[in-house]
Structures are given as structure tokens and as C-alpha cells.
Structure 1
Amino acid sequence: MVRLFGTDGVRGVANRDLTAELALDLAVAAAHVLGDVGAFEGHRPAAVVGRDPRASGEFLECAVVAGLASAGVDVRRVGILPTPAIAHLTEAMAADLGVMLSASHNPMPDNGIKFFARGGHKLPDAVEDAIERRMREKWERPIGSAVGRIRDDVGAEERYVDHLLASLPHRLDGLRVVVDCAHGAAYRVAPAALERAGADVIAVGAEPDGRNINEGCGSTYVERL
């Protein structure tokens, strides 16, 4: 059997390689494996879920959230945020698991699922392998109050921008900065953080519509800058 996990999570063409069913199964298996290794011991498990603006991220997010909640994990949806934000928020919110739906600079039809362990760390290869094995096993479903609850965390974006600003060694007053957001996950936080740091910001590629991510912009079109 071909390994699902690559160097940066599970990726493929959304709705062909990476289906809603696969996303749900991965989420359930991840919850069980992390529970088995003691990540949830002594408390109710919680997860942070974010995504980039790809249209497919909408249904994949629903599948991941459903899988986690059905496995007894409380879910905090933080919306469209870049991958480092999910790693940070997983740690800052003391969550047991973080999930990012993104395919980075890949074309729009692609998408991916990346898991973070407690503390915002990438899952070890051994844990990823265990998740793949668990997907083929039956599991006992929680019922009643044991099922996970879902809520939207509307303040997550601002908290992440605050974190970025706190990491700056000095302000950016007097600088004019052009930032290419690639119609991607940082289209709000990147300009906002730079502006709050004092820079005069010119943002391009900051109008995602679910279909135009990385289209003629981003890391493979640096000449645009």
C-alpha cells in the first residue's frame, strides 16, 4: 500500500485523491492514535482547525471537523489562516491537535491535510504511520455528551497578529513594503501585521475567491514584485 503521508502531510487533487471521506477517516484515526499515546489523558481533547482559501477547503474542513467531533474531540475552527498560525494556536490554546488544510504553492485543484501534535509540532513519522493503520480498523463511537463540540473562534486571527508583532525586534515605521499574498491564507494577516508594525503596505494578490490562489502570483511569480 502506498503511504498516504508525504513530507508535508497528505496531499493530492481535491475530490479525486483527497476526498471528503478520506479527510474524515484521517481525522478520526488521528484522534484515536493521539488518544492511544496518552495525548488526551486526564482531560477532554481539543483541536484547532484552519484552512487556506481554496474552494475545496470548505468541504474538506467540514469533513475533518465532523471526523474529530465524532471521535469525541472538541473543535475550534479558526478560519482562513496561514499554516504557522495553526501551529502557534495549537500551542497557545493548549490544544491536543492542530489541522491545517492547504497545499501551499500548489495549483488550486490540489489540497492537503497537515496535522500538528500538542505544542504545535509536526507529527513524527511513526505517528503518521499509526494513523494510516488505524484507518483500516473499527472503532467505538462516543455517544451523548461524549461527542465533540464545535465552535468558531473569531478572535484567533487577531491573537496571531499580536503574536507576530510581539516577535518583531523593532517597528517598521518609514518602510514601504510590497507583499504578495498569492490570494492565499495570509491575505489578511500579512498586510495587517505589517501595517500595525508601522509600514506603508502595498498588498497584491489579496483578493481570494476560492479559485485564484497562486494564479499568476506567489512564490513562483516573484517577478510581479
Structure 2
Amino acid sequence: MRVALVTGGSSGIGAATAEALLAAGYRVAANFAGHPEVAQSFTARTGIPTFRWNVADYGACQAGVASVEAALGPVEVLVNNAGITRDAMLHRMSAEQWREVLDVNLGGCFNMCRATIGGMRERRFGRIVNMGSVNGLSGQPGQTNYAATKAGLIGFTKALALEGASHNITANAVAPGYTDTAMVDAVPPEAMARILAAIPAGRLATPAEIARGVLFLVADESAFINGITLSINGGKYMA
């Protein structure tokens, strides 16, 4: 039974992904950084253990992965889902807003991959999925920081795919469109109306629909799928 670790895994897309992996027979751990009451409720409901650390902290990621592996076994599947927004137009964006988003979204991916890649190479197996965004492909006003991190994840994923291929390690990205999560719930109604009008499907994605894409990419049978970005956006943006 393979061990999977999902960052930002106690709510939203991360929680749906963790639950889908559990239903598919994986042993699953979910990382979280804030809102311990949400994590406790998630564990009580699903039985999936949660582990708290900030993915922006390199040392915390090393220690966190060690804790997961002590409890469940070596991490063979890593889903880098943790992410934040600090939206502002560039001419109003603070250096702190810029750095915080880069540290979590892009730095967190590096930290987590760095903490797990050695073991994957030794065991000659690994599945890594990095959670991008439609806005990393198409851009979005007020999100130069967020879009930069999500676009950066795609380049990171392609390079890592080349490095890991000879060790049976795949690295792929998923680029969700607008999804029915707490992050999107915070969008003002007038802006949400414009977003929905731009989605040919006429609705938001469900977290389970995004999780289905992750589940496909991490399967043992997906070994020849490497370095891709799987867009799940209802037709909003087609590269």
C-alpha cells in the first residue's frame, strides 16, 4: 500500500484529493498550517491523520516528512497542493505580499520535493503532482505574485520530470480552473459573475473533479505520463 502525502490537505482541493487517494487504497497523510479545528474535524470525519507545519519553512518540511514516514512509511506520492493568495494590483502590492506568496506556493514546492526526492530515488519510484492554476497559464489582474508562482511551478515540474525519469519518478502539474472552495468563496459577487460568464461550462469545478485528475497522474499505470500540465478548467483557457 503506497503512502501519499498531500500538503494543504485538510480542506478544499487538498481534502478532496486526500479522500480520493484513501478511497483508491493509498495510506494518506494530510499536511496543514493553520486552522487546527478544521484539521481535527477532517481527521475525525475521514480517519486521515493530519500533520502541522508551514511548507515555507525548509527545516519544518524535513521534520514533517520524517514524522509522516515514522507514522505511515516512506512517502511515495507527493501532492504539493498548499497555496495562498495575497491579491493586489502590482502598483499597490507590498514586498511582503510578494514574498509571502512566493515562499509558500513556490518555495513550499521546492521544500517538500527536496524532503522526499532522495527517498524516491533510492526506492526508484515516485509520483509528484504540483498544483498550478489556470491563472498561471492565462494571467489574472491583481495576481502577479500568485500567477508567477503557478507559472513557475510548471517550469519546476518539467525540469524535475527530466531529472526523475530514469528513477521511475514522474512529476506532473494540475492546473485547476475556478473551483468551489473557500478561496473562491471570498471573491466578490460581481467578480464571480464575470468569472462564471467566462467559463464555457457555466459553473465552477468541484474539488472532487480536480482530485480525479491527481488520482490519474499518481497511479502506477501512469508511469509514461511525465512533465505535463493537466488543465481542468471547464474550457476557460485552452493552451
The structure with more strand, counted as a fraction of residues: 1
Q: Say whether the fold is shared (TM-score over 0.5).
A: no
**Structure ranking higher on relative contact order (CA contacts 8 Å, 6+ apart):** 1
TM-score with structure 1 setting the length: 0.29
Larger radius of gyration: 1
